[in-house]
Amino acid sequence: MKSIKDVNFSGRKVILRVDFNVPVDENRNITDDTRIRESLPTIKKLLSDGASIILVAHFGRPKNGFEDAFSLKPVAQRLSELIHQPVQFTQELLGPNVEAMAKALKPKEVMLLENIRFYPGETKGDVALAEQLSKLGDCYVNDAFGTAHREHSSTATIARFFPKDKYFGLLMENEIKNLNYLLDKPEHPFTAIIGGSKISTKIDILNNLIPKVDNMIIIGGMRYTFTKALGGKIGNSIHEDDKLETAKELMKKMDEMGVKYYMPIDCIVVDRFANDANRKIVKGDEIPDGWEAVDCGPKSSELFREVILKSKTILWNGPAGVFEMPNFAKGTNSIAKDVAEACGHGSYAAVGGGDSVAAVQKMQLAERMSYVSTGGGAMLEYLEGKTLPGIKAILD
């Protein structure tokens, strides 16, 4: 695994790639510091060893070099509070001044470089940028699972300059172990709950999971492509006409492999896309013209609950409806409660994807889940069976 657990970093300068891409308000105050907190175990382990740490991170998607709105300065301040010591911050990324700062860094001191994406070469996997960055330290640790699916200079390319001194951080190691458990040795019955607005974004994960699961619960907007493929009425509900045959093929594959699949048997529909719209409950495949489905109904929630509570392993990725609108959050919230209850009875549950994670955090249920992934896109690609560049770079 190449874990930092097995190494003492005393007296070493560690380049640590983290995911500090946190949400901020209009005044650039951090509104959720979860991603910073997730890397604290790795940071504290390295500091307790007596290492000095050079943190590399990105924030947002700047397009024109340095932009104050994308500076990591607020992150440096928050990290300093969390680790109870000063964090040196440089608004330069590379060059003589930064190299001098890194060289002068004493054991148990921390510095954070400015947003690596201010350099256009970062997202292109630029070798020269990675080499320059590598000169700041004498070993490399990647703890940024949320960016592991990107072949960027600081997440993948840099690792080649540390052929025998590159490691996974504790967060990264935990993510890989949990995902491997889901893919390689889940306890049965194994239920996957897959949602989202479009089937096109979930084809690969569905195909990869079908041979592994016993039950598949299909929710969210993507459900209506399946409904239309089955000849049901979907009104104005979101769907993809060019994926109707794909939906049929997926259902055929599940039938052939003995996977039981479930979709909402009732749903909440609205006459316009707004929280205060007129709404009613109809059968899942009898949505009237002019109406649009925005959540699953109470009978569906009862059906899903029964399946979830009988499961030993659960994977949940994607909401049941437009949960951002309070009137249409019941289906998603119901799943969150049921999954947490299953965990309380000894089941293993993994939750991933921005919306699903946001839902369990909003309901303060994250602590009751077995595992909540920090990487939406990275988790999806890993579950699709893809090799993630950030992981491959450490293992090579």
User: Is 377 marked active-site?
Assistant: yes
From the candidates 35, 212, 243, 330, which is the catalytic residue? 35
From the candidates 354, 385, 386, 392, which is the catalytic residue? 354
From the candidates 198, 233, 283, 305, which is the catalytic residue? 198
Question: Do 246 and 290 contact (CB within 8 A), yes or no?
Answer: no
348-352 and 313-317 beta bridge pairing: parallel
Question: Do 11 and 137 contact (CB within 8 A), yes or no?
Answer: no
User: Is 35 marked active-site?
Assistant: yes
Tokens of 167: 């490691």
User: Is 198 marked active-site?
Assistant: yes
Burial of 252 (0-12, 13-18, 19+ CB in 10 A): exposed
From the candidates 60, 121, 232, 377, which is the catalytic residue? 377
Distance CA 394, CA 396 (A): 6
Widest CA span of the chain, in angstroms? 69
Tokens of 190: 């194994």
217 beta partners: 193, 262
Question: Do 376 and 352 contact (CB within 8 A), yes or no?
Answer: yes
Distance CA 30, CA 387 (A): 32
DSSP state of 386: P
Q: What is the number of residues in the chain?
A: 396
Q: What is the DSSP string of 70-134?
A: G-SHHHHHHHHHHHTS-EEEES--SSHHHHHHHHHPPTT-EEEE--GGGSTTGGGT-HHHHHHHH
Q: How many CB atoms lie within 10 A of CB 354?
A: 13
Tokens of 145: 């699972």
Burial of 127 (0-12, 13-18, 19+ CB in 10 A): middle
User: Is 290 marked active-site?
Assistant: no
Residue 26 makes CB contacts below 8 A (sequence gap 6+) with none
Q: Which residues form the catalytic set? A: 35, 198, 354, 377
